[in-house]
A and B are shown apart, each in its own frame.
Chain A
Amino acid sequence: MTDKQKHATAYWKENLKYLIILLSIWFLVSYGAGILFKDALNNVRLGGFKLGFWFAQQGSIYVFVILIFVYVRLMNKLDKKYGFDE
């Protein structure tokens, strides 16, 4: 295995780790807070919003945007670390 291949394998592993973490958050805010646990969360209030409803119609979307930008940062760093940046 050449150095480049080793780098590629290690790079891919770290990439998958990031994906699992970020997609877990993606699942938790939308399917978790916005759908499955909505009724329980609705007992908590965020100003005029019931929390479950807020996650379903507002919060999950804000988190989605943040997730992608976090991913962009993480991957830019990862590209540099393994010399795959352009």
Chain B
Amino acid sequence: MSVQVWTWILVGITFSLYFGIAIWARAGSTKEFYVAGGGVSPLANGMATAADWMSAASFISMAGLISFMGYDGSVFLMGWTGGYVLLALLLAPYLRKFGKFTVPDFIGDRYYSNTARTVAVICALIVSFTYVAGQMRGVGIVFSQFLQVPINLGVTIGMFVVLVFAFLGGMKGITYTQVAQYCVLIFAFMVPAIFISIQMTGNPIPQIGMGGKVEGGAFLLDKLDALHTQLGFNEYTSGTKSTWDVFAITLALMVGTAGLPHVIVRFFTVPKVKDARKSAGLALLFIAILYTTAPAIAVFARTNLIETVNNKEYSEIPEWFKNWENTGLIAWADKNNDGKIQYVNGSAVAGKKPIYTDARGEHGQRSISNANDSNNELYVDRDIMVLANPEIANLPNWVIALVAAGGLAAALSTAAGLLLVISTSISHDLIKKQIKPDISEKGELLAARIAIFVAIIIAGLFGIYPPGFVAAVVALAFGLAAASFFPAIILGIFDKRMNNYGAVAGMIVGITLMLFYMIRYKTGLIGVMDPRPASEWWFGTSPEGFGTIAMIVNVIVSVVVSRMTPAPPQHVQEIVEHIRIPSDAGEATHH
């Protein structure tokens, strides 16, 4: 059977599964809608957290990014796992003990102020929308590559699917769908990795195969380092970023992970404080399976890519190369007219992406109009490495199709979690807590469902008109979370003297600074300003790593302002005492 038939079958089966779960797990109360009734077992919560967490970026883009970044890619690996240590040790147990529905709930009560709550809601919305944009795009990419559906139609199908299980089941539906999605995505990620590991190193465990020997007896990593040096790249295991920037990005990603509302809220769904700690550990274990495999895939894919294409005649190149060329994610310009592909260090095109003309070159390749005069003739989009890897390695069709189903599971599960945070922020934190406190349970549930519907439409638009690279956009969401929530929550637990003035000032300064830096050095303002060059970065810190600085500024502002203003009232100090000990956790409640 062809890849396409296999893909339809596997996507069909997994989607029916998600629909089935959605219908089974309909939510009847706000408590079920917001925190799945508070009765999710640590194991299920661990899997759901892992699926919630591992996004289209983790599944589709990360191994590809690492593949091109080598050592520098470590920032994602450490950054997106180390945050769970912070989460487990510094946040999850205390927030569970506090026992409300949302992060703004905590901020609003701990800082006894609706201003603080509102600032938290705005931060949650900015972070979640930045993040969800990447997910919907991921859905579109998978659909278009594997099912030959236009990207925009793919995004629309994805929106519809998320809508069904998020709308019906709220957190309850999402949690149990995510458990299923975790199983699908981890299976889909591991199968090709194991195949390729055996193929290249003879060892079925990719984590070990990565350090194993290839045919001829050399170590794989040494061989890759040698290939890199030969083609003018930096050694794969060395990287090019400055030590400070690697440090800053890793820290921003870790702290951002621990500050992401859609991750934190998962720990409100377990019954006890003890369960919150345990499920954080299980979540990281489930995540680590993918995160320790990804760097192995990166090494395999990188080696395979170089060996398959470099100095090979275009006319003898395998079919996958031409398929991806047709979708615009690979380009080749025969600059020296030898009919062979030369792949060396440097950008092959002027600007970021190839601009295709309608014409075909003499070997049948798609002509591009913006080839530059560097010696590198090949452009490869980083996002395709995981998707193309099984094809490059010549794996069976069902494995290739499996990757598509896994990519969809990863993108949909994360999108659903984020959309829930967005809708909860509106129906619970804004409407119930501020605008209309006397709203009925039914009314609030309806408001939540309307909010999720609107949020999906907006997220879909983001997916159709994407603001850039999937992984790059997601990375910035972490900077925003690091710069806003993390300090406010940590200080709220560990610093009894922290008051509303300090926390609000800190959050506002932190997120404003981060947004300013992001716009100035990364995204630019369309029609007004292009991003400024890297040579002007503050202390040589990239926009991805700037969350670290914005977070430090937030902490300093919070502490200084709080010490110059009155201490928080007695009942708030008692809240802090109360959340520090685990007994009498009670259930997640309204009041």
Q: Which candidate, B23-31, B81-89, B549-557, is the interface stretch facing chain A?
A: B81-89
Q: How far is the CA of A11 from the CA of B74 in the complex (A)?
A: 37
Check B84 against A68 for contact (C-beta < 8 Å). Answer: yes
What residues on B are CB-neighbors of A8 within 8 Å? 577, 580-581
User: Given A48-B219, A61-B77, A71-B277, A56–B85 Cβ distance below 8 Å?
Assistant: no
Closest to B247 in A: A35
Question: How many A residues touch the partner, as a band?
Answer: 35 or more
0/1 per residue, A21-54, Cβ < 8 Å to B? 0110010001100111010001000111110011
What residues on A are CB-neighbors of B88 within 8 Å? 68, 71-72
What residues on B are CB-neighbors of A42 within 8 Å? 237
Check A62 against B583 for contact (C-beta < 8 Å). Answer: no
Which of A47, A62, A68, A72 is most buried by chain B, counting CB atoms within 10 A of its CB?
A: A68
User: Given A23-B85, A31-B250, A62-B288, A57–B77 Cβ distance below 8 Å?
Assistant: yes
0/1 per residue, A74-86, Cβ < 8 Å to B? 0110010011111
Closest to B225 in A: A50
What residues on B are CB-neighbors of A79 within 8 Å? 274, 582-583
User: Given A30-B78, A71-B277, A72-B277, A86–B582 Cβ distance below 8 Å?
Assistant: yes
- Determine which of A15, A53, A61, A69 lies in contact with B81 in the assembled complex, contact meaning CB atoms within 8 Å: A61
Q: Which candidate, B159-167, B207-215, B408-416, B480-488, is the interface stretch facing chain A?
A: B207-215
Closest A-B pairs by Cβ, 8 of them: A48-B219, A48-B211, A56-B74, A68-B281, A57-B295, A84-B583, A49-B211, A53-B237
Chief secondary structure at chain B's binding surface: helix
- Determine which of B219, B281, B580, B584 lies in contact with A72 in the assembled complex, contact meaning CB atoms within 8 Å: B281
Check A71 against B583 for contact (C-beta < 8 Å). Answer: no
Q: How far is the CA of A60 from the CA of B82 in the complex (A)?
A: 8
Q: How far is the CA of A34 from the CA of B315 in the complex (A)?
A: 43
Which of B73, B82, B207 is most buried by chain A, counting CB atoms within 10 A of its CB?
A: B82
Check A35 against B243 for contact (C-beta < 8 Å). Answer: yes
Check B77 against A84 for contact (C-beta < 8 Å). Answer: no
Q: How far is the CA of A56 from the CA of B89 in the complex (A)?
A: 21
Q: How far is the CA of A19 from the CA of B494 in the complex (A)?
A: 12
Closest to A78 in B: B582
Check A26 against B281 for contact (C-beta < 8 Å). Answer: no
What residues on B are CB-neighbors of A38 within 8 Å? 71
Asked if B191 lies at the interface with its beta carbon under 8 angstroms from chain A, I say no
Q: How far is the CA of A86 from the CA of B271 in the complex (A)?
A: 11
Per the 8 Å Cβ criterion, residues 538-591 of B in contact with A are: 577, 580-585
Q: How far is the CA of A23 from the CA of B83 in the complex (A)?
A: 11
What residues on A are CB-neighbors of B582 within 8 Å? 75, 79, 84-86
What residues on B are CB-neighbors of A56 within 8 Å? 71, 74, 77-78
User: Given A47-B211, A56-B71, A86-B272, A62–B85 Cβ distance below 8 Å?
Assistant: no
Interface residues of B (CB under 8 A from A): 66, 71, 73-74, 77-78, 81-82, 84-85, 88-90, 93, 207, 210-213, 219-222, 237, 243, 246-247, 250-251, 272-274, 277-278, 280-281, 284-285, 288, 291-292, 295, 577, 580-585
In the assembled complex, 5 residue pairs joining A and B whose CB atoms fall closer than 8 Å, in A order, are A19-B89, A56-B71, A60-B78, A61-B81, A68-B88
A48-B213, A53-B221, A58-B207 are known; give 11 further A-B pairs, CB within 8 A. A35-B246, A47-B212, A53-B71, A53-B74, A56-B77, A56-B78, A64-B288, A68-B89, A84-B583, A86-B272, A86-B584
Q: How far is the CA of A23 from the CA of B87 in the complex (A)?
A: 12
Q: How far is the CA of A34 from the CA of B74 in the complex (A)?
A: 8
What residues on A are CB-neighbors of B221 within 8 Å? 48-50, 53
Check A65 against B284 for contact (C-beta < 8 Å). Answer: yes
Q: How far is the CA of A14 from the CA of B188 in the complex (A)?
A: 43
What residues on A are CB-neighbors of B213 within 8 Å? 48
- What is the distance, in angstroms, from B75's C-beta to the closest C-beta of chain A? 9
- What is the distance, in angstroms, from B512's C-beta to the closest C-beta of chain A? 27
Check A30 against B277 for contact (C-beta < 8 Å). Answer: no
Q: How far is the CA of A62 from the CA of B77 in the complex (A)?
A: 11
Closest to A58 in B: B292
Q: How far is the CA of A46 from the CA of B207 in the complex (A)?
A: 13
Q: How far is the CA of A72 from the CA of B272 in the complex (A)?
A: 13
- Determine which of A19, A26, A53, A83 lies in contact with B82 in the assembled complex, contact meaning CB atoms within 8 Å: A26
Check A72 against B278 for contact (C-beta < 8 Å). Answer: yes
Check B89 against A23 for contact (C-beta < 8 Å). Answer: yes
Q: How far is the CA of A53 from the CA of B295 in the complex (A)?
A: 11
Q: How far is the CA of A27 from the CA of B281 in the complex (A)?
A: 18
What residues on A are CB-neighbors of B207 within 8 Å? 58
